[in-house]
A and B are shown apart, each in its own frame.
Chain A
Amino acid sequence: MSRLQRLLRNQTRVDFPELWKTTLKVSAALILISVVAMLVRGVNLGIEFEGGTVWEASAPDVSTADVRDALRDVGQADAKIQFVGGDVLRVRAELDATDASSVAEVSLALATLTGQSLDDISFNSISASWGDEITDKAIRALIVFFIVVAIYITLTLEWRMAVAALVAVAHDIVITVGIYALFQFEVTPATVIAFLTIMGYSLYDTLVVFDKNRDYQRRSALVGRATYTRIMNSALNTVLLRSVNTTITSVLPVLSMLVIGTLVLGAVTLAEFAVALLIGLLVGTYSSLFVAAPAAAWLKERQPEFAEQRERLEARAQSRGTTVHDVEDVAVGPPSPQAAPPAPGATRRPPPTGTVIPPRPRKRKRR
């Protein structure tokens, strides 16, 4: 069976614990880069957060596209262009009003465009439209949100899962913001909303993976015969296709937005928003499998009953001269008959059928 076929049948044999060794290093590196980028370069806040300069000029016969072209030449392609009362052109750009030469450059461009003298172009400073109050409240709300969600996950799953899920969410936010800092993408209110969307998505995705894992830990044929991490590995293999599919269905619209938004000149907002979402969605799925899962496994292995089980399994494996892995590979294997001879010593349960989840008992055979 090809890899793709196996993926489509949820019968992949990806060794997640082995992958985690690499991905955790990658994640650590990404977080380090992000933090350094944030500290060194900072985020490039847009006019909505920092204010800027506003120009006004009478411009009855000018189109938005003309203005956009003129502004692009002076490096202000993402300025906000608006017509007030029909014929007054208003341009807002993230440019410090005290930066006289840059302001004059834009004024000149507008004067040339509208065929007026420089004196007819007025400019002024403009304050932020995203108030500090909004930021303060949002931060407070986020803190409460983290606490309540932690409690919720603790109640429905357990505290270890809550810790792992929140670590993953934090991981995603740090990396997404870090990429913004690194490439100096402009942070607009839309971007903030994109960050929040990512946070919600990341959490949702992690919870789906955890829920499947819990389900699996309960009904897997491996219970009592493999370490927590190995059982989780099997669980992750069965949700892998779901993760891939969900990512594809979420990413396709965003990707189409990015491509079309970039092709169509002027759709800067669209393109930037799409970049934030795209990165966030990918990182969000990645973190569920490669950050939240290892974090949860690490915490669970330190729980006394699972630690004991691991020791017991290792001791048994040693006495038989096999490694722990041998036992599992048999159990996790695909349902091809030749690949699944019953492992010796595993006869306490009915011989494995080669599948991981035994059918739940049925009352009667119907047909």
Chain B
Amino acid sequence: MSRRSLVSLALIVAAAAGLLAASLAVGNRPLLGLDLKGGVEVVLVPADDPDRPVAITEGDLDIAVEIIRDRIDGLGVAEPDVTRQGNRVVVQLPGISDQQRAIDIVGQTAELRFRPVCSLLDPEADPPPTQELPTPELDNRGLAPCPTGIDVTALPTTSSADDLLDRFVVLPHRDRLERYLLGPSSLTGAGLSSADSRFTNEYVVEFNLKGGDEGADKFDEIAAACNPPSDFCRTAQIAIVVDGTVESAPVVNEARFGGSGIISGNFSEQEAEDLALVLRYGALPIEFQDPTDPQSDSTSRAVSATIGGDSLRAGVIAGIVGLALVFLYMVVMYRLLGVVAMLSLGVSATLLWVIVAWLGETQDLALTLAGVTGLIVAIGVSLDSNVVYFEHLKEDVATGRMLRSSLEQSFAAAFRTIFRANFASLIAAVILYWLSAGSVRGFALMLGLASVLDLVATYFFLRPCAQLMARSPGLMAHPHRLGLPTREEAMPAGVEAS
């Protein structure tokens, strides 16, 4: 028993230390948020689009802000700051020193198009491209019958300059395994209202179209042309095209959708999410000027932290002072047990650091001042597990149980309580993470981490510590060192425990 406790203790300490060392060795650092460290901002200015029938409204810009925010913060933990300032959209990202990367993340406002698929072609034109596509004869729906009498195998891929709405085009699939001959279409991302990935029996993408001629009716026109397949859409597929690439080309299973539909196709979770993202992202209502173009008004610049260094220092000092006070209190209250509690805290805090640093590196998890203080509080609260146990122990000793057996048996009872309470926190975290967005999601992640780590540290550190202490004759003879009353004090003379 004693050896097993030692092994368990050594394992958890080694794991925490090893992970910390590994984390430091590969240079993982927590990503500090915009408020603490600043970052990069990309200013997007709407492009002058002479074809645009109505002027850009604040509403359009606000929708663009929502879409960009969603796109950047898919995981909900990066804490970007996306706002509309006048008629510009200002996107601030934490911690990125490379401005080009910021621009890539914010992305270009490619237009999304839905096109009927005429035929599937080989990935490479063979023999060398010789033929040209005819100009389509558009009907009143904006569709045209697929070209006949040409050798589709010898068609070149359409250049981006010729990739126009009212032309036939040949575009490659995202995975480059196929090319498609696509008909003209008048439905763009502007007709979409929302898209989301969902899990029913498999991962699917659900999308909603705007009502009327703007979206739903147009989609139904194309759907009717594809189901059953007609001359307008020989393959019965609709291609979703962004930036000259076919993202997906699902088969149309119905002639009428009435404003919403589901795209399925053995997607993995990631694939479904990416496709939903493309649908949403392509649905930007405005085209912005390219920030990489020096001629444009859109720019990218470095920005400083919004909170001064004095606040950050104050926060750190406050945290250290606070924890020192907690340490003092625990030691006065529980003596050696208090020290054990603080060591247990050290283990979970180390693991937390490693995870936060790793998520900062891989998932852009940003630590804001609020996040840091929240963590300090979480640490204070996680001491509760220890307090619950110590109090249980005290109670058992006070009722005349042997200290040695109490140390282990109280743990079992206390751990049940701790587990149930932490499990409720974990449920809260999972639900909030699953269903919410933005900073709330970031909070949920932290809550979940704190709950799990609390259980880990309690079970793998506190428990073996308790077992080891129960083996120490010195401690058993001097319960005061554990902040516990002696047997004589607990059980006054005259009342004998059974």
Contact = CB atoms under 8 A, between A and B. Distances in A.
Interface of A: 9-11, 51, 54, 64-65, 68, 80-86, 88, 90, 124-131, 133-134, 137-138, 140-142, 144-145, 148-149, 152-153, 156, 188-190, 192-194, 196-197, 199-201, 203-205, 207-208, 211-212, 215, 238-239, 241-242, 245-246, 248-257, 259-261, 263-267, 269-270, 273-274, 277, 281, 335-337, 350, 353-355, 357-360, 362, 366
B85 A54 contact: yes
A149 B422 CA distance: 12
A266 to B, nearest CB: 6
Instruction: Summarize B's interface: helix, strand, loop or mixed.
Output: helix
Contacts of B41: 84
A127 B62 contact: yes
* Most chain A beta-carbon contacts within 10 A, residue among B323, B485, B495: B495
* Most chain B beta-carbon contacts within 10 A, residue among A68, A189, A199: A189
Interface string B427-448: 1110110111111101100010
B141 interface: no
A360 to B, nearest CB: 8
15 contacts: A9-B485, A64-B308, A127-B83, A153-B424, A196-B432, A208-B417, A249-B326, A250-B377, A253-B380, A256-B318, A256-B319, A270-B314, A281-B377, A355-B399, A359-B498
Contact of B303 (A82, A126, A127, A194): A82
* Most chain B beta-carbon contacts within 10 A, residue among A80, A126, A128, A245: A245
B-side interface size class: 35 or more
B492 A149 contact: no
A10 B391 contact: yes
Nearest to B313: A264
Contact of A260 (B318, B323, B421, B434): B318
B70 interface: yes
A274 B377 CA distance: 10
Nearest to B81: A129
Contacts of B437: 131, 133-134, 137-138
A269 B35 contact: yes
Contacts of B380: 249-254
Contacts of A253: 318-319, 322-323, 325-326, 376-377, 379-380
A199 B374 CA distance: 13
Given A197-B377, A211-B416, A252-B329, A65 B424 contact: no
A10 B490 CA distance: 11
B43 to A, nearest CB: 9
What 7 pairs between A and B have smallest CB-CB spacing? A253-B322, A190-B370, A141-B435, A85-B301, A256-B322, A124-B86, A127-B84
B314 A260 contact: yes
Instruction: Summarize A's interface: helix, strand, loop or mixed.
Output: helix
Given A207-B424, A257-B315, A270-B369, 4 more contacts: A200-B428, A204-B384, A267-B311, A358-B399
B310 A257 contact: no
B399 A359 contact: yes
B322 to A, nearest CB: 3
Interface in B292-334: 301-308, 310-311, 313-315, 317-319, 321-323, 325-326, 329-330, 333
Interface in B46-71: 61-62, 65-66, 69-70
A264 B435 contact: no
B438 A131 contact: yes
Contact of B315 (A238, A270, A337): A270
Interface in B338-380: 368-371, 373-374, 376-380
A342 to B, nearest CB: 12
A37 to B, nearest CB: 24
A239 B313 CA distance: 37
* Most chain B beta-carbon contacts within 10 A, residue among A11, A82, A85: A82
Given A203-B428, A208-B417, A256-B325, A264 B310 contact: yes
B369 A269 contact: yes
Contacts of B492: 335-337
A246 B384 contact: yes
A148 B380 CA distance: 26
B384 A273 contact: no
Contacts of A208: 384, 388, 417-418, 421
A207 B370 CA distance: 26
B244 interface: no
Given A131-B65, A144-B435, A274-B373, A204 B495 contact: no
